[in-house]
Amino acid sequence: MSFVCRFAPSPNGPLHLGHAFSALVNHRAAEVSGGRFLVRIEDVDTERARPEFEAGILTDLDWLGCPPSEPPIRQSDRLADYAAALARLEAEGLVYPAFETRAEIARAVIQRDLAKAWPRDPDGTPIYPFRRQEISDEERARRRESGAPYVLRLDMARAVGRVGTLYWQEAQGNPLGRPVSVTADPLGWGDVVVARKDAPASYHLASVLDDAAQGVTHVIRGRDLFQATSIHRLLQELLGLPAPVYHHHRLILDIDGKKLAKSSGARSLATFRGTGATPDDIRRLINLPPRNSRAEQDQERQDAEGSPA
């Protein structure tokens, strides 16, 4: 089977070793399966997205030896599709506008924590502390018309009630590995945001719509997004989208054992390049064999032996 894979960076900073690993693993999976490697610029957060970072991403991918098979797509060009999907969810009563500020949410969580530990989502963030029923649909509509800022939230209990238990296929060990069924648990996320104040989508909604629009067959990304896949499977089901196979790969950690992040100043690929590092040096740093080496082919043979025919 030829895989359609994608690398989906946000253009809000330079790529680091963690991105290099993800891009190279996606590119290789597409290459060995005779498929395509797509790039998607996740610039739905317009406040933080910068064109110079987008240009830097493409330069880095070329340099690493994993250029996209086609010109990249940008989320900012797809807002009409996101709006149409939201309209559909809203017509089915599955999303609602919520008006609380971050500070109001934080205060409510503290109050609830004082009574009894308030539940956290799988990322450790307190789940949304209010309930849809606290404000009538008419009152929400009135506030929205009056121009009050709002996000759209998924009514998680109702959405899950609509589709029942869901599963996804997770390739084991490597992207070509044998997939096993994983039970999705979207309820643990609470009423997640599906449209931000400033855009007709959140990461979750945009990414499932884009994966479907790009015909992605295999979503290969870091383990930090494993649990979020529960939300993605739910949105796919609600919107009648196909479910790709997933593979959540290991994360590249810094010397303190923490995940590399732009926000904590991880060294950029451009900095490595500027100090004379080669693409094979980068591969060594992230524990990938040199490109086209015997070690790379051996690794793939072993991987393929564990995969379905």
Binding span for ligand GLU by CB under 6 A among 7-15, 52-60, 62-70, 73-81:
7-15
Binding span for ligand GLU by CB under 6 A among 4-12, 142-150, 179-187, 256-264:
4-12
Smallest distance from the beta carbon of 26 to ligand GLU, in angstroms? 9
Does residue 268 belong to the site contacting ligand GLU (CB under 6 A)?
Answer: no
User: Based on CB atoms, which residue is closest to ligand GLU, 123 or 139?
Assistant: 123
Does residue 8 belong to the site contacting ligand GLU (CB under 6 A)?
Answer: yes
Smallest distance from the beta carbon of 224 to ligand GLU, in angstroms? 8
Does residue 26 belong to the site contacting ligand GLU (CB under 6 A)?
Answer: no
Closest CA to 77 of 199, 246, 166, 216: 199
Residue 21: burial class (beta carbons within 10 Å; 0-12, 13-18, 19+): buried
DSSP-derived pairing of the beta strands 218-222 and 245-249: parallel
Smallest distance from the beta carbon of 222 to ligand GLU, in angstroms? 7
Does residue 42 belong to the site contacting ligand GLU (CB under 6 A)?
Answer: yes
Smallest distance from the beta carbon of 38 to ligand GLU, in angstroms? 12
Which residues in the 224-253 window bind ligand GLU by CB under 6 A?
Answer: 225
3-class SS at 5? strand
Query: In angstroms, rounded to a whole number, what is the distance separating the alpha carbons of residues 55 and 32?
Result: 27
- Asked if 184 and 122 count as a contact pair (C-beta separation under 8 A), the reply is no
Number of residues that bind ligand GLU (CB under 6 A): 7
Binding span for ligand GLU by CB under 6 A among 2-10, 52-60, 79-87, 132-140:
2-10
Residue 145: burial class (beta carbons within 10 Å; 0-12, 13-18, 19+): exposed
Query: In angstroms, rounded to a whole number, what is the distance separating the alpha carbons of residues 233 and 63?
Result: 34
Among 3, 9, 14, 29, binds ligand GLU (CB under 6 A): 9
User: Based on CB atoms, which residue is closest to ligand GLU, 32 or 225?
Assistant: 225
| 117 contacts: CB under 8 Å, gap ≥ 6 | none
Separation in Å, CA 122 to CA 29, 197, 230, 231: 28, 23, 10, 11
Does residue 41 belong to the site contacting ligand GLU (CB under 6 A)?
Answer: no
Does residue 10 belong to the site contacting ligand GLU (CB under 6 A)?
Answer: yes
Closest CA to 25 of 287, 217, 301: 287
User: Based on CB atoms, which residue is closest to ligand GLU, 225 or 241?
Assistant: 225
* Cβ-based neighbour number of residue 213 at 10 Å: 13
Give the CA radius of gyration of the chain.
21
Binding span for ligand GLU by CB under 6 A among 8-16, 63-71, 96-104, 296-304:
8-16
Which residues in the 168-227 window bind ligand GLU by CB under 6 A?
Answer: 207, 221, 225
Which residues of the chain form contacts with ligand GLU (CB under 6 A)?
8-10, 42, 207, 221, 225
